[in-house]
Chain A
Amino acid sequence: EPEVTQTPSHQVTQMGQEVILRCVPISNHLYFYWYRQILGQKVEFLVSFYNNEISEKSEIFDDQFSVERPDGSNFTLKIRSTKLEDSAMYFCASSEELARPKNIQYFGAGTRLSVL
């Protein structure tokens, strides 16, 4: 069964460093998403991406964050200068379309980011 894959599973970084979290969405999917889950809190929407541009973003997704689809398979989330409060589990998701029934979002296993 096709799945969303995320690498690495765990990333440890120093405060102020740049990190890139990588995702390979399901191959025929066109819509891509990033969410994060701070330990013990809700899963929160960060950004959606379609046709090589951001379609919607949350207040969390400030100038420190960026997303990119550098090639036909990868979808990346970059945090330019990490802060302690960026420590969280980051989930990538993808869906085939916007219209039902093909708009179901499938999630990767997540990348746990630890900022020291």
Chain B
Amino acid sequence: GEDVEQSLFLSVREGDSSVINCTYTDSSSTYLYWYKQEPGAGLQLLTYIFSNMDMKQDQRLTVLLNKKDKHLSLRIADTQTGDSAIYFCAETVSGGYNKLIFGAGTRLAVHP
């Protein structure tokens, strides 16, 4: 069945790079997403990658996709305190109506 796994917690120093990892099980995934959730707020779409891509860069964000290992990562360069949030990896699978399957979320704590 479909499943998405993430590590639950990451702590980094301000200015360092953060790397948040995710693994998924469904090889028919068509899209993989990263959403950000700040305390008490909704889900903000950060970036996404098509399953036929290996990498996508968007300003401070770099997404890497290893289809063989079904591994997705989100790298945040020059991490700031405003990046502190929960980051959710999600996938959609081919067919159907594009329901999203979410991981449990990685809580990123940025300290001075």
Using C-beta atoms within 8 Å of the partner chain, give the interface range for chain A. 20 to 34
Q: Bin the interface of chain B by size.
A: 20 to 34
Shortest beta-carbon distance, A56 to chain B, in Å?
5
Chain B residues contacting A108 (CB-CB under 8 Å) are 42
Which A residues from 7 to 65 make CB contacts under 8 A with B? 31, 33, 35, 41-45, 48, 50, 55-56, 58
Prevailing SS type, chain A contact patch = strand
The reply to whether B42 and A109 contact each other, CB–CB distance below 8 Å, is yes
Q: CA–CA, A103 to B32, complex, Å?
A: 12
Q: Is the CB of B41 within 8 A of A98?
A: no
A48 to B104, alpha carbons, bound, how many Å? Answer: 21
**Please, which residues of chain A bring their CB within 8 A of the CB of B42?**
6, 91, 107-110
- Contact present for A45 and B100 (CB under 8 Å): yes
Judged by DSSP, the binding face of B is strand
Which residues does chain B contribute within 8 Å of A109, judged by CB atoms? 41-42
Q: In the bound complex, what is the Cα–Cα distance between A98 and B99 (angstroms)?
A: 10
From B88, which residue of chain A is reached at the shortest CB distance? Answer: A43
Judge whether A42 and B105 touch: CB under 8 Å: yes
CA separation between A56 and B97, bound complex, in Å? 7
| Extra A-B contacts (11), CB below 8 Å, given A33-B99, A44-B102, A109-B41 | A42-B103, A43-B100, A48-B97, A50-B97, A55-B97, A56-B96, A93-B43, A105-B98, A107-B45, A108-B42, A110-B42
The chain B residues found within 8 Å of chain A, CB to CB, are 30-31, 33, 35, 41-45, 48, 50, 88, 90, 92, 96-105
Provide 27 A-B residue pairs closer than 8 Å at the C-beta atoms, listed in order of the A residue.
A31-B98, A33-B100, A35-B100, A42-B103, A42-B105, A43-B100, A43-B102, A43-B105, A44-B102, A45-B99, A48-B97, A48-B98, A50-B97, A56-B96, A56-B97, A58-B99, A98-B98, A100-B30, A103-B31, A103-B98, A104-B31, A104-B33, A105-B45, A105-B100, A107-B35, A107-B43, A110-B43
